[in-house]
Every structure is written in structure tokens, then in C-alpha cells.
Amino acid sequence: MLTDPYLWIKALHIMAVISWMAGLFYLPRLFVYHVERENTEAMGAVFQIMEKKLLRVIMNPAMIVAWATGVTMAVMLGAGIWGSIWPWTKLAGIICMTWFHIWCARRRRIFAEGGNTLTGRDYRMMNEVPTVLMVLIVLSVILKF
């Protein structure tokens, strides 16, 4: 059991997904604070550092590891799983989650350039996207619908 490479890859996958999701939940929240509490140039600079480090140090590596281990597990399981609906709904959710990650990265760049036009409410609404996608992905994997 301890020598089963699939289980090690699966464990790494779960850790990467947890890290990635934590960032996807937190970065839009930072954007809310950035929009609503930026009273000085110094505070804006602090938020930009936090956002940049969260994205580059935690979220990007976690997303890459989650994708790499997920693809590895899919290959190890073989083509047979793709005859069910659940891997397709999971994949659709993951693609949308990746789109959301890219959207957050673009919003961070827009903040850095001083061009943000979205409100705290806009970011609060977008902060719900990873939750909905997480529900879809987890239900797909666990219930195999």
C-alpha cells in the first residue's frame, strides 16, 4: 500500500487542490479589501504585494501540480473512465476553475496598472465562482453522476 505510486500521486493532487482552492477563495477577497480600503498609496502597494505573492508563490504552483497530478492519474486509470459522465463534468469544472484563476491573474495586473473599474460588490459576486465549481467537481467525483 505504501509503495503504490497512484496513492502518492493522489495524495499530492489533493494537497495541491486544497492549496489552489485556498488561493482562489482568498484572492478575490483581497480584491474586495483593495477596492474598499485603499485610502493611501502605501495601502495599495501592500495589497498589490500580497496579491502578487499569493498568485505567484501559492496559486500558480498549486494549479500546475493539481493539473499535472490529475492528468497523471487519468492516464493511470486509462480510457475506461471517460465512458462515464462524471469525468467530463469534473473536467468542465476544472477548466472553468482554471479560467477563474486566469481572470484573477488579469485582475491583479489591472490593479497593478491602476486601471481597476470593478467594485467590492463585483468581487464579492466573483468570489462565489470557485465555491460553485468546487461543489460541481466534488459531487462529480464522489457521486460519479
How confident is the chain (145 residues) per 10-residue block, as mean pLDDT? 89 98 97 83 87 97 98 91 93 98 97 92 96 96 90
User: Where are the domains positioned within the chain?
Assistant: 5-143
CB burial of 20-44 (b: ≥16 within 10 Å; e: otherwise) equals bbebbebbbebbbebbeebeeeeeb
Helix extents (H) in 56-144:
60-77, 86-112, 120-126, 129-143
Other CB atoms within 10 A of residue 16 CB = 20
pTM listed for this prediction: 0.92
Contact 16, 58 (CB under 8 A): no
